[in-house]
Amino acid sequence: MIRAFVLALAATFTALPALAAEKIPLTRISSYLNSFTTAKADFTQLNGDGTISTGTLFIKRPGRARFEYAPPSDALVIAGGSQVAIFDPKSNQPPEQYPLGRTPLNIILARNVDLTGQRMVVGHSSDGTSTSVVAQDPEHPEYGNIRLVFTDDPVQLRQWVITDDAGGQTTVVLGDMTTGVDLPPSLFNIVQETQERLDQ
């Protein structure tokens, strides 16, 4: 379940605009994603097997994210140091790790997000209430893609759907996102987290 979320990396929205909205330009979406360095939000995750998980997401761009899963899962996923680590609360073994660059999450954690880049966006549409952008690594489309869903006025990221290299999908629905929060580096330190768990 968690591995599918990472290798690939929701649909209930909160208060969507009543009037039909036009498609948000890629330049505005890129500017929005670049407008904050840190963010925090509650999330609900719909897994490929039909199960549902909840938790809290922390983002610190570039390249860092932390997904703290609530009970009964209690799992933890950290992106930091160019790696993504999956911590299994039921195991005393070191976390399973993957290069961040091999996951679609890398696209929105980039230092400078530019969705207008050549061959990065393979889908850009509006359903009248939200805008969807499907993005992938143009050099490695085999890594999968991420579909980002935004509402407008102001632009806000509401959900994403990650499709992994095997075609599996994981959906993450975000609650209201708070930006500009103070997040200590230790939240994203895989080595420190690993050592603390081994010392327990």
**pLDDT tens across the length of the chain (200 residues):** 455 544 444 333 344 444 456 899 999 999 999 999 999 999 999 988 889 999 999 999 999 999 999 998 889 999 999 999 999 888 778 899 999 999 888 999 999 999 998 889 999 999 999 999 999 999 999 999 999 999 999 999 999 999 988 888 999 999 999 999 999 999 999 999 988 887 77
In the chain, the amino acid numbered 158 is R
- Are 104 and 125 in contact, with CB atoms under 8 Å apart? no
pTM of the model: 0.85
Map out the domains of the chain with their CATH numbers: 2-175 (2.50.20.10)
